[in-house]
Amino acid sequence: MRKLSEYLECACIVGTHGVKGAVRLENRCDSPAVLAKLKRMYIKKGEDYKEMTVVHSSVQKNMVLTTFEGVESVEAAAAMRGTVLYAAREDFRLRRGEYFWADMMGLPVIDDETGEVYGTLSNILTPGAHQVYVVKRETGEFMIPAVPEFIKEISMGEERPEGIYVKLIEGMME
């Protein structure tokens, strides 16, 4: 079983908001609302993570506006532009059968019936109503809509070997 990181990338500071030190965050969570609920985020310094206490967060369109303790001017906020933020794994609650995208990356994509390995998960797209899994193979990439018709099970090694078990239709890998 793979070792899972204690911290997960959750946002990137893309700009400032106002003159009192608020920042605009590009969301890298399931939704801006999930990101806005976090009470703390972390900045990676070398191999260490420095905790940043969230004073206030709100959702504005697809962005999250956040104020951190100790960041009280537009200049201080501007200096943080481009900073990637992380969240502690323990700060999220997942339901049974839900997994962090970071944990799914690199999982083998396996035929549910034959056990044939088609490739590995290299990306997850969110174009609309459902996610789309991008599978990398030696001959290129193909995509699978992340719906129950095609995704039969995601296993992190609990009952079956780690992998995304699928049932594909003819022509899907082309």
Give yes or no for a contact between 27 and 17, defined as CB atoms under 8 angstroms apart.
Answer: no
Q: Which of 103-112, 120-129, 132-141 has the lowest mean pLDDT?
A: 120-129
What digits encode the pLDDT tens for the residues 6-61? 999 999 999 999 899 999 999 888 789 999 999 999 999 999 999 999 999 999 98
pLDDT value at residue 2: 66
Residue-range domains of the chain with CATH: 7-90 (2.40.30.60), 101-166 (2.30.30.240)
